[in-house]
Amino acid sequence: MSVSPFIGEYNPIEDVPVASVATAWDNPVDGSTVILVINEALYFGDRMEYSLLCPNQMRCNGVVVNDVPPMFSPNQPHSIIIPGRLEIPLKMRGVMSYIDTRKPTADEILKCGHYELTSARPWNPNELELDLREIGQTEAVIEDQANSFMHHVVRQEPPELSISSVIRDISSITHTSLSDGLSFHEADVILHGMAYREAMAVRSKARSSVITKEVLAKRWYIGIEPAARTLQATTQQGMRYVEGPLERRLRTSQAHMRFPSLNIVTYTDTMFSGKRSVRGFTCAQVFTDGYNFSRVYPMRAKGDAPHALMLFIHEVGVPKTLLSDLALEETRGEWAKIVKQYHIDHRTTEARTPWQNRAEAEICELKKMVRRVLKQVKAPAELWCFAIKWVARIRSLTAHDTMLLNTRISEERITGRTPDISEYAHHSWFDWVWYHDESTFPEPNLLVGKWLGVASKVGQAMTYWLLTSKGTVIARSSVTHFTEDNMRDPSLIKEQEQFLSKV
């Protein structure tokens, strides 16, 4: 990392490592000690007497930072709050808010509670995500205030307008430097203030990897140029920076390395259905690359979106960049925790600009094809949850005539593997099929059903969802399609008519 002052008269400090660091804070109320962990920190060692923390970097981790001096905001606690876990009162020195911390002992590191002030997700202070989110939130507040104003005008009542809720917090704009933490072994004191008037600020330019091309070339016994290309073509998000002797356990939570990393922008949005499906679904979460690849996860409510994101991560991989709209289900709560845990670069669209999210166009195509399929095979609309998953996979497994794919499959572009289409090539959706089932003698064990798609989470490969004559849905692997003779057999035609009337 190259770190420069805001004024250009001084040379930047080169090769400043980005590290996860910690310091100890003693609670003045009960005397207990906690370990405060600061991830994605610029590490200057003993070159800086004080450390700077960025309020917005903490806020992005879900930490509440009330750094407005009490004299300006008497009704708000002057503190750093980790909701439901810890509150750290802030002190004042001049115009600076600060906390007193010290170097933790080895015993304290092992036994005291650890609290993360900043996320381990890569932090880039120059990214536009915060700007877009701030614009969206501000416009939403303005719109709510306008609606409230019009409501009171109609009722001839004075509106309750809160100007402060629309204006940005000045402190969150001025404190824009990356935080500088102190290591476990060299921590002294973190003071967000000074004994005399002095202004300090840093600005980061380019983030460099913890491992250099020279080090990689030496470790892998390869040349410098191949090592440089390798670092550019891969990620190194699991690298850990350790200085001094190993006196503690290293971080083992590397969830983002358990699944493939998708080096694409993944778009996501929630689609809704006016008809509740046979499985009780009313909506679905759609993930797409914007080029015909998509995955659909039906949901009972839009609040299930975080669960759909986890299913996508397990089934396909971890998106490098994930773009959604400003819906709360896709920006906060459990969704935000997953984004943090898997180091996903989450971005949002601007307010009232749905065209920025390519998932909108993909949803239109999915709905269009589902309507066409349901109408052509005369299937009940309540089966849409099966039809849309099948449509999404068919679109992903088709070699579309686009320059980007170059005669290949869109799913191969995402996963890097040539897909096998055997499970989907045997049958069309809602086909008449025979399936083998257990029965009591002399009842028949070869029954008639309707093919609803691949049951990828049940049994082995080639297991399918089937609609039975009782209107239930089961998963079976011993399935075969109707022959031409079956379709002309009068007795079977009558059985098919009875089947459809029961359904």
Tens digit of each residue's pLDDT (9 = 90 or more) over 52-66: 888 999 998 889 999
In whole angstroms, what is the distance from residue 66 CA to residue 58 CA?
Answer: 11
- Indicate whether 149 pLDDT > 50: no
Q: Which residue has the higher pLDDT, 421 or 246?
A: 421
Q: For the range 477-483, what are the long-range contacts, defined as Cβ-Cβ under 8 Å and sequence gap of 24 or more?
A: 478/435, 478/436, 479/427, 479/433, 479/434, 479/435, 479/436, 479/449, 479/451, 480/433, 480/434, 480/435, 481/426, 481/427, 481/431, 481/432, 481/433, 481/434, 481/451, 482/431, 482/432, 482/433, 482/434
Statement to judge: residues 220 and 275 lie in one domain: no
In whole angstroms, what is the distance from residue 33 CA to residue 378 CA?
Answer: 68
pLDDT of residue 132: 52
Statement to judge: residues 300 and 391 lie in one domain: yes
* The domain boundary residue, chosen from 113, 144, 165: 165
Contact 118, 61 (CB under 8 A): yes
Q: What is the mean pLDDT of residues 62-82?
A: 88
Q: What is the mean pLDDT of residues 229-257?
A: 69
In whole angstroms, what is the distance from residue 73 CA to residue 80 CA?
Answer: 15
In a domain, 460, yes or no: yes
pLDDT of residue 335: 96
Q: What is the mean pLDDT of residues 452-477?
A: 94
Statement to judge: residues 48 and 146 lie in one domain: no
Statement to judge: residues 333 and 443 lie in one domain: no
In a domain, 171, yes or no: no
Q: Which residue has the higher pLDDT, 29 or 427?
A: 427
Statement to judge: residues 264 and 369 lie in one domain: yes
- Indicate whether 103 pLDDT > 90: no
For residue 481, what are its two tokens? 């399609």
Cα 186 to the center of its chain, rounded Å: 34
- Indicate whether 28 pLDDT > 60: yes
The residue behind tokens 């993944």 is 266
- Indicate whether 30 pLDDT > 80: yes
In whole angstroms, what is the distance from residue 43 CA to residue 20 CA?
Answer: 9
pLDDT of residue 39: 87
Q: Which residue has the higher pLDDT, 167 or 284?
A: 284
Residue among 260, 275, 263, 97 nearest 175 (CA): 97
Statement to judge: residues 275 and 403 lie in one domain: yes
Between the two ends of the chain, the Cα-to-Cα distance in Å is: 64
pLDDT of residue 172: 31
Statement to judge: residues 273 and 360 lie in one domain: yes
pLDDT of residue 121: 78
In a domain, 250, yes or no: no
- Of 200-209, 363-372, 492-501, which gets the smallest average pLDDT? 200-209
In a domain, 386, yes or no: yes
In a domain, 247, yes or no: no
Statement to judge: residues 313 and 439 lie in one domain: no
| Parent domain of 188 | 3-125+176-204
Q: What is the mean pLDDT of residues 90-95?
A: 87
Packed helices 305-315 and 333-341: angle between N→C axes, nearest 10 degrees:
20
* The domain boundary residue, chosen from 375, 393, 415: 415
pLDDT of residue 147: 53
Q: What is the mean pLDDT of residues 354-366?
A: 95
In whole angstroms, what is the distance from residue 166 CA to residue 153 CA?
Answer: 20
- Indicate whether 241 pLDDT > 80: no
Structure confidence at residue 184 as a pLDDT band (50, 70, 90): very low
DSSP bridge partners of 283: 272, 299
* The domain boundary residue, chosen from 351, 380, 415: 415
Packed helices 213-220 and 224-233: angle between N→C axes, nearest 10 degrees:
110
pLDDT of residue 436: 92
For residue 66, what are its two tokens? 């009330």
Structure confidence at residue 236 as a pLDDT band (50, 70, 90): confident
Statement to judge: residues 274 and 311 lie in one domain: yes
Statement to judge: residues 113 and 230 lie in one domain: no
The residue behind tokens 């810890």 is 86
Structure confidence at residue 404 as a pLDDT band (50, 70, 90): confident
Instruction: Outline where DSSP puts E strands in 147-293.
Output: 203-204, 261-272, 283-288
In a domain, 404, yes or no: yes
Structure confidence at residue 84 as a pLDDT band (50, 70, 90): confident
- Indicate whether 137 pLDDT > 50: yes
Helix (H) or strand (E) holding 466: strand 464-467
- Indicate whether 218 pLDDT > 80: yes
Statement to judge: residues 193 and 332 lie in one domain: no
pLDDT of residue 402: 83
In whole angstroms, what is the distance from residue 149 CA to residue 159 CA?
Answer: 5
Statement to judge: residues 194 and 214 lie in one domain: no
The residue behind tokens 């008449």 is 432
In a domain, 350, yes or no: yes
- Structural domain tally of the chain? 5
Contact 469, 492 (CB under 8 A): no
- Indicate whether 288 pLDDT > 50: yes
Structure confidence at residue 155 as a pLDDT band (50, 70, 90): very low
In a domain, 248, yes or no: no
- Indicate whether 276 pLDDT > 70: yes
For residue 313, what are its two tokens? 């991560």
